[in-house]
Amino acid sequence: MNIKKTGSKGKASSATEATAKMKSEKEEDFDSVLNDFAAKTSLSNDALVSRDSLDKDLQIPVHEQFSTSGMPKGWECEYFSEGQIWRTTSEEARETEKLMTEELEDLRRAGEVHRQVRRYALNKIHPGMTMIEIAETIENGTRALVAECGLKAGIAFPTGCSLNHVAAHYTPNAGDKTVLNYDDICKIDFGVHVNGRIIDSAFTLAFNPKFDEFKAACRAATDAGVKAAGIDVRMTDIGSEIQEVMESHEVEIDSKTHRVKCIRNLNGHSIGPYKIHAGKTVPIVKNGDQTKMEEGELYAIETFASTGRGLIHEDLECSHYMANSDISYQQAMGSIRLPRAKQLFSTINHNFGTLAFCRRYLDRIGESKYLMALKNLIDLDVVHSYPPLVDLKGSFTAQYEHTLILRPTCKEVLSKGDDY
């Protein structure tokens, strides 16, 4: 979700040539390791039920499925850069990592929920469904599998299901009659959290095979970003790798050839507890940003492809909102004068805290006739609004996204599955 305003187990060798060889072998094995991980997390996993009984599967929360074995790990990848290879076998790094046990367990639980929900949803979604039906299929699956419990576990942000030239931040409001068609390209972007630890992952859904190469270009760019990410890596270098892969593709859609463009004013981001954007951004083009990734940080690596200008702007009816996390609840309440707005903000704080929400979520908890109060909160800068982000009408956009954590010993792609 882009919600921001504008290896080796043996003894480490000291020989330089051995280090270089190890680095080379790791880089060459990147794709094969991805494939191995996908095989291990496929639908044949004993913890999952068959496709024929996916509805029944929603009755078994993930933490109960793995109550004795512990949550499945994400895809673990050793650091490639020569200055970080030592981390794989470092006892000090392993000891530091033990302090992250609780955080990792929460993230892995959320990651497994995401994998199972998207498998379930892909078996349910079909042309002819309304966008509300699609969003609620995903949201109800998330609530069931994460065992929703107030702010302790649940949905991390509104389900994005942006169509065609709309790249991000669209979820249907109540009464939206939009229907998914065979010729649409839809970005499914949803989040899961456990104790505020967020998994943010997205993929592109299209039933018409004319979009296959376009989707593949975007997915390859995201994989390049995941591969490039690491401790002490500069943001601009990650953006450069993503851009090189993305813009090396040309695709044909409806008998017209398009050079695939990165949407250069969208990017990935760091993630914090209950904060979808924790302050750092990961560009998808080379931009000169010398900021480095650091040990222990959690990131959403996401890329957006376009056949249009490769630039987005805000448009259409707003559905996404989030409380301003830069001011305290007490400060916010002190600035609100209208009683209805005070009551609404209290409800928002109690149910969502600093997590993003949408109008349908307010409807679901019993709020009504709240639009004027919500506008007042936005005008006071107590709540921020995030309208849909669109490229040129008639163009197509795609998105793929993974959440990874920079552990002391390796990076772990927590949302990786057999699908992407």
Reported as a single tens digit per residue, the pLDDT across 377-395 is 999 999 999 999 999 999 9
pLDDT reported for residue 385 = 99
Q: How confident is the model at residue 9 (pLDDT cuts 50, 70, 90)?
A: very low
In the predicted model, is pLDDT for residue 18 greater than 70? no
C-alpha angle with apex 75: 39 to 162, nearest 5 degrees? 90
Q: How confident is the model at residue 10 (pLDDT cuts 50, 70, 90)?
A: very low
CB contact set of 382 (below 8 Å; sequence gap of 6+): 323, 324, 327, 332, 335, 336, 345
Percent of all residues in the chain with a pLDDT value above 70, rounded to a whole number: 87
CATH of 23-311+395-413, one of 3.90.550.10, 3.30.1130.10, 2.70.98.10, 3.90.230.10: 3.90.230.10
Cα 264–chain centre separation: 18
In the predicted model, is pLDDT for residue 226 greater than 50? yes
**Active-site residue numbers?**
189, 200, 269, 277, 302, 401
pLDDT reported for residue 43 = 38
pLDDT in tens, 399-414: 999 999 999 999 999 9
pLDDT reported for residue 50 = 42
Domain map (residue ranges) of the chain: 23-311+395-413, 320-386
Q: How confident is the model at residue 44 (pLDDT cuts 50, 70, 90)?
A: very low
Q: Outline where 88-234 has alpha helix (H).
A: 91-98, 101-124, 131-146, 212-228
Of residues 39 and 220, more confidently modeled:
220
**Residue among 299, 3, 310, 382 nearest 170 (CA):** 3
pLDDT reported for residue 81 = 76
Which residue is it, tokens 């469904």? Answer: 129
In the predicted model, is pLDDT for residue 82 greater than 90? no
Q: What is the DSSP string of 32-80?
A: HHHHHHHHHTSTT-TTS--GGGHHHHTTS-HHHHTTTT-PPP-EEE---
In the predicted model, is pLDDT for residue 25 greater than 80? no
Is the model's pTM score more than 0.85?
A: yes
> How far is the C-alpha of 334 from the C-alpha of 269, rounded, in Å?
31
In the predicted model, is pLDDT for residue 54 greater than 50? no
pLDDT reported for residue 46 = 36
Q: What is the CATH architecture assignment of 320-386?
A: Orthogonal Bundle (1.10)
Per CATH, 23-311+395-413 and 320-386 having the same topology is answered no
pLDDT reported for residue 418 = 95
| Amino acid letter, 115 | R
pLDDT in tens, 235-267: 999 999 999 999 999 999 999 999 999 999 999
In the predicted model, is pLDDT for residue 353 greater than 90? yes
